[in-house]
Amino acid sequence: MDRRSFLKTSALGSAAIAAGTLMPTSCSSGKGGVKDTSKVKLNISFQEGIAPGESLAEKLDFMEKLGVTGFEPGGRGLSGRVAEIREALSGRNIKVSAICAGFDGFILADDAAIKESFDTSMREIVAAAGELGSTGVIMVPAFNGQEPCKPHTLQTRDYLCEELHKLGEFAKEHGTTVILEPLNRRECFYMRLVADAAAICRDADSEGVKAMGDFWHMQEETSDYGAFMSAGSQYLQHVHIASRGRRIMPGEDGEKDNYVEGFRALKELGYDKFVSFECGCEGDHETAVKNAVKLLREQWALA
Ligand code: MG
């Protein structure tokens, strides 16, 4: 683009903004759009292994007493568990938050049979997630070590966006989404910032393709606040949380476990999805979980 055409499009852009045509459709859909953040609630969710208890019912009883309103099961075998999970949640103030992976193969597989097994198993999980009213199914396009993987080229990124578009549209038909989880350079070198995942969502161009942030992996971010803001309410669909030193219960790593800046972004975004525990535990299980929930509520109030 030469300078003349740049100035021309810039001028057009300014005119459109002045006319209001590029403005967000509601104040909560824009970045930093909520003025009164005191009304934005912290919705806590647990993965299946977090609450103490032998059975699912015991775990849900414990969660209910703590005011935990989200439950994140794994995706493996989910279609066979729809009735069990529905029944377990019936009459409780707990919803399925998101579904954590559980598919076979991977979307960037360079082997047709592995890609096919991804397509089949992922769509089965997505359909079950829709039946359970989940916000989405969490996925990583390819971990660093997964082979054979398509080469890291621009063509592969385009292919990823095309495949995600199809998957996202399928998820949308089922009333749910697929959620890209950025990790860190050791696990997934090409998608390690929340903004990386959000940009793929934008380019996949489907309302069924969303992004998330995991406070554990977000150690690569320069700013927790900036990370969540980069996804904005348009793309941010889920959050994982753990302690920030050893990936155990929030609070078990002491001073390191500060989530206030990230929470401030969530509040300003009017984030109404879940913050879900994905972590181990070092101390007494029941005590550590209760302390962690208390800590998050204190920090949410501070944010
Ligand atoms: Mg995670």
pLDDT, average across residues 33-62: 95
Segment 201-224 shows an average pLDDT of 97
What's the whole-number average pLDDT of the chain? 92
pLDDT at 1: 47
How remote is the CA of residue 2 from the centroid of ligand 1, in Å?
Answer: 44
- H or E element at residue 224: helix 224-235
* pTM of this structure: 0.89
Burial (0-12, 13-18, 19+ Cβ within 10 Å), 123? middle
User: 237 CA to middle of ligand 1, Å?
Assistant: 13
Element (H, E) at 165: helix 154-173
pLDDT in tens, 270-279: 999 999 999 9
Closest residue by Cα to residue 128 from 194, 168, 74: 74
pLDDT tens-digit map of 92-115:
999 999 999 999 999 999 999 999
- In the block, tokens 């990583």 appear at 140
* CA of 181 relative to ligand 1 center, distance in Å: 7
Residue 33's pLDDT is 72
Query: Which residues fall inside 5 Å of ion ligand 1, going by CB?
Result: 214, 240, 278
Asked if residue 240 lies in contact with residue 213, where contact means CB atoms within 8 angstroms, the answer is yes
| Higher-confidence position of 239 and 34 | 239
Q: Give Cβ neighbours of residue 184 (< 8 Å, ≥ 6 apart).
A: 192, 217, 219, 220
Using the mean position of ligand 1's atoms as its centre, give its distance from the Cα of residue 214 in Å.
5
Compute the average pLDDT of residues 13-18: 44
- The pLDDT assigned to 23 comes to 41
The reported pLDDT for the residue numbered 3 is 52
Retrieve residue 48's tokens: 């299946």
In this predicted structure, the answer to whether residue 160 has a pLDDT above a threshold of 90 is yes
What is the distance of C-alpha 172 from the center of its chain? 16
Task: Tell me how far the alpha carbon of residue 215 lies from the centroid of ligand 1, in angstroms.
Answer: 8
Which residue, 196, 189, 193, is CA-closest to 219? 193
Region 275-303: what's the mean pLDDT?
98
Which of 9-13, 55-59, 206-210 shows the lowest mean pLDDT across its residues? 9-13
DSSP labels for 115-152?
HHHHHHHHHHHHHHHHHTT-S-EEE-S--TT-SSB--S
- Planar angle of CA 86, 50, 120, nearest 5 degrees: 55
